[in-house]
Amino acid sequence: MYKEIESNKRNSIILMMVFIAVLITIGFGLDYFWGEGSYSIVWLAIIISLFMTSISYFQGDKIALASAGAKKMTKEENTYVHRLVENLCITAGLPMPQIYIIEDPAINAFATGREPKKSSIAITRGAIKKLENEELEGVIAHELSHIKNYDIRFMTVVAVLVGSIVLISDIFIRSQIFGSRRRKNSKGGSLFLIIGVILAILSPIIMEIIKLAISRKREYLADASASLLTRYPQGLASALEKIKNENLKLIKSSKAIAPLFISSPFNKKSKKNFWFSTHPPIENRIAKLKGML
């Protein structure tokens, strides 16, 4: 378990370093094309991205819960779930999150909140009814691990970087189509312009792939952390087996909040390109968990 946790943390950092390296490379490239020397466009894009992302950062939890149709659950409404969450929080050294119920027969759950003190977890009615005690415990431990690992905050930083690249690329392309630019060197300028346009078009796609790769690594990390928390990887593995086999789609599902769920809220049988998937293949997750036994 410790080896798996360390591996996923290390891979996440490596991907972040690649992210930043690409951003800096594009910044130097744009400085060449505009000949400014101040990287003003790069900084402007980052500032705009920070502003836009901060809105979702501070209000994203409320938006996600409302989008999923989640209703706050009191201790009196479901003592069993409340105590399960409470016991895991004590073990993990986490403050008690707000608990929400999603009235949906599918088995799923998600966590949200920018820090442990302001976190929430939402569990579907289907998960409570269909999962055995150890399975539900594994699912809740997975979501609490996202909170403990600050995955929401981590992915917010990634979103800022992606947004910056998209804005920079858009500004560059528009400047070539609708405006004029200065070149430091007219010789070979056309070749560099073509390279610049190709880079501007491909960069957002590349960054999106890296972002999704980071998202998948954080899912593996949460699985491993949950196993360490419960000391029973089989519980989460069994829950994922049930999620894989039931093939139910959440009634209120949105692509915007899909990455938050423990498993894709959409039809499991639909074929998705791995590179553009927010979650690792569920079979791989099950295999890794069983390998910890």
Enumerate the active-site residues. Answer: 143
Strands 98-102 and 70-72: antiparallel
Measure the N-to-C terminal CA separation of the chain; round to a whole number of Å: 9
In one-letter notation, the amino acid at residue 242 is K
Please calculate the CA angle 237-241-246 and round it to the nearest 5 degrees: 150
Buried/exposed code over 166-203 (b: 16+ C-beta within 10 A; e: otherwise): bbbbebbeebeeeeeeeeeeeeeeeebeeebbebbeeb
Distance CA 130, CA 170 (A): 47
Two tokens at 100?
């929400």
For residue 145, what are its two tokens?
């691990």
List the helix and strand counts (H, then E) for the chain: 9, 4
Phi-psi bin for 39: left (phi > 0), alpha (psi -120 to 50), beta?
left
- Pairing status of strand 70-72 against strand 120-124: unpaired
CA distance 68 to 29: 42
